Structure 1
Amino acid sequence: MTDPSDGRGVPAELRPYLDELVRRTRVVCGPRLIGVYAVGSVALGDYRHGRSDVDVAVVVDPALPAAALRELAAVLSHPGLPCPAAGLELVVYGGDSVRRPSGGAGYLLDLNTGPLLPDRASFDPAGATAFWYTVDRAVAHGSGLALFGRPAPEVIAAPARAEVLAALAASVREHAEGEGHLADNRVLNGCRAAEFCRTGHWLSKCRAGREVAAAEEGFRALIGAALESFDRPRAEARPLPAADVRAFLAWVGDRVAEAAAAEGSG
């Protein structure tokens, strides 16, 4: 199993793609573009080609016309801009909204596209599942890589810890009960949530998995199997015992609840 370091930087496989993504975004948004940031696995130093998505946050002047948002979705969609990763998950925020801590979705555009993702472009956050965006903004504030514009912490506020913990509780429920998640991703997202509760820091999924496995002997075999599976392409991911995954996520849910209770009593 390979063991990528947690070094920061844009992987070589993604540089031409992200350079072109930034160029097209600058053309469409012009002077109303504030910043473009790599988040997710790229920001956390554990991008895996053939497995990982590319997660990007774009911040614009909220006065950017709706027509420009629709144009941006069109020019960034695969295969017009061929995505070399499993998919692109790009979220556009107004600069006014991300300057304030928030636990809401709050986007202007949410674009999913790529060879392994169903195409989707949403321009209305009403009814969106907010926890994905809260976690992404928290990661962006702490670790986002600026592809254009000022450093991420100067542009994107960190959501309050209570809001992050509420988002993690929702994330754990989704990974325990939701459909369409690979078993290894369910486990390793749980590890990342548990490590955030313990340390207050965002780790890559694999580093979080190693940390939890070292500390929790009862889950070591399950997490080891998840790490081995995560090192494979998505189509070759291995099944994990469903009962063991549920038990692990229940344990993670307890850790999140304990952290939330401690935050509330602090």
Structure 2
Amino acid sequence: MTRTLADPHAVPAELRPYLREVVHRTRTVCGSHLVSVLAVGSVALGDYRHGRSDTDVTVVVDAPLPGRTRSDLAAALAHPALPCPAAGLELVVYDEAFAARPSGDAGYLLDLNTGPLLPDRISLDPTQSPAFWYVIDRSVAHQAGLVLYGSPARAVIAEPARADLLTAIRASVREHSGGEGHLADNRVLNGCRSVHFCRTGRWQAKRRAAEAVAASEERFRPLLKAALRSYERPRTEATALPTAEVRAFLVWVAERVDETAATDRAG
């Protein structure tokens, strides 16, 4: 079995050998059940930053895999057995039938987090996880998923219903408002990405979304510029941001999401 990517030049050079091996090991474990392997997140949106970004991968298979197969896949991809050069690997496996329909559920077969800067996590039960992470990721995948192997993203990943997506975005803002386990710069930039989606209906890379919001919202401009400067640094060197200003910004973001949802309902 050859180790190739569908479009290697679309993948950052630092990740190419690693993602080739991810695809190879996924094909080895899943065999003929494998439909697609897709890069999502910062790689798909053209904003991967080495030393800062995770690499996010979505896998689609043509039937629910037995628990043993899912555990074998997690073991095959776990760091450091397969050393991850990014901050971490966040890999989610979906059954083709689930992925092909709009859903507000988590719905995964396997959720794997592994890597040098990520807490290890393996879940085979989607009820263990808040659904919003997966709804947003599937929307990004539908819009911009980069094919590493198999069928195109739009052929296998449905766009979630807009109401479900706005509910997920609101839950994401609530999660980031709490702050626990999240860097301050990432909380702010994810808020910018949420606002940009509400304004445009399209997902944008965090940095470009922050630049767009900073251009239109003068009162938050100093905070957003500080978040962007911090985001240029490795995760381990991220700078602190004023807690009250971060909280006020995320309250404003939540209000924008709520306004968008209310406008949709009224329309």
Above 0.5 in TM-score? yes
Q: Give the corresponding residue for 2:210.
A: 209
Q: Give the corresponding residue for 2:166.
A: 165
Give yes or no for contact 2:196–2:203 (8 Å, CA) kept in 1. yes
Supply the distance in 2 between the matched residues of 1:171 and 1:40 (Cα, whole angstroms): 15
Q: Give the corresponding residue for 2:18.
A: 17
Supply the distance in 2 between the matched residues of 1:17 and 1:71 (Cα, whole angstroms): 18
SS of 2:82's equivalent?
A: coil
Supply the distance in 1 between the matched residues of 2:223 and 2:119 (Cα, whole angstroms): 29
* TM-score (normalizing by structure 2): 0.96
SS of 2:52's equivalent?
A: coil
Supply the distance in 1 between the matched residues of 2:85 and 2:40 (Cα, whole angstroms): 16
1:18-49: per-residue Cα shift (whole Å, max 9, x none)?
A: 00000000010011001000000000000000
SS of 1:175's equivalent?
A: helix
Letter in 2 for 1:183: A
Q: Give the corresponding residue for 1:3.
A: none
Q: Give the corresponding residue for 1:186.
A: 187
Cα offset for 1:178? 3.8
Following superposition of structure 1 onto structure 2, how do residues 58-137 of structure 1 map, counting pairs within 5 Å? 58-137=59-138
Cα offset for 1:160? 0.8
Q: Give the corresponding residue for 2:6.
A: none
Following superposition of structure 1 onto structure 2, how do residues 239-250 of structure 1 map, counting pairs within 5 Å? 239-250=240-251
Of 210-219 and 54-63, deviating more is 54-63
Are 1:29 and 2:30 counterparts? yes
Cα offset for 1:131? 0.3
Q: Give the corresponding residue for 1:155.
A: 156
1:166-216: per-residue Cα shift (whole Å, max 9, x none)?
A: 001000000001411100000000000000000000000000000000000
Supply the distance in 2 between the matched residues of 1:63 and 1:166 (Cα, whole angstroms): 27
CA RMSD of aligned residues (A): 0.9
Letter in 1 for 2:217: E
Identity fraction in percent: 66
Supply the distance in 2 between the matched residues of 1:11 and 1:73 (Cα, whole angstroms): 23
Letter in 2 for 1:37: L
Give yes or no for contact 2:166–2:261 (8 Å, CA) kept in 1. yes
SS of 2:166's equivalent?
A: helix
